[in-house]
Structure 1
Amino acid sequence: MKKEHLPTKICPVCNRPFTWRKKWEKNWDNVKYCSNKCGGLGRKKSNTSQ
């Protein structure tokens, strides 16, 4: 599959698009963040709002 045909998502923390990666092959539906940094910020933000 060519790179331009890979699925993409928008990161809810930085609002940037990110594309599918081989390491996310089995859980692409559960991937929410583009990186570990955004994942940490997203979890931190959701915990403080409760």
Structure 2
Amino acid sequence: GRHGIGSEDHEILDREEIECVAGRGLLDDRFFDYKEDYKGQITLFD
């Protein structure tokens, strides 16, 4: 979340598969190569 500030407008994307790139993130994600050692999180739904 974004404690104390409003949400941003990012759509939820439906994917059949994703590619994880070690040390960089998820291919085609807005945070891919965002910052060195960025501690991002993802949520997966089945």
Sort the TM-score into its range (normalised by shorter chain).
under 0.3
**TM-score after normalising by structure 2:** 0.24
Larger relative contact order (Cα-Cα within 8 Å, sequence gap ≥ 6): 1
More helix by share: 1
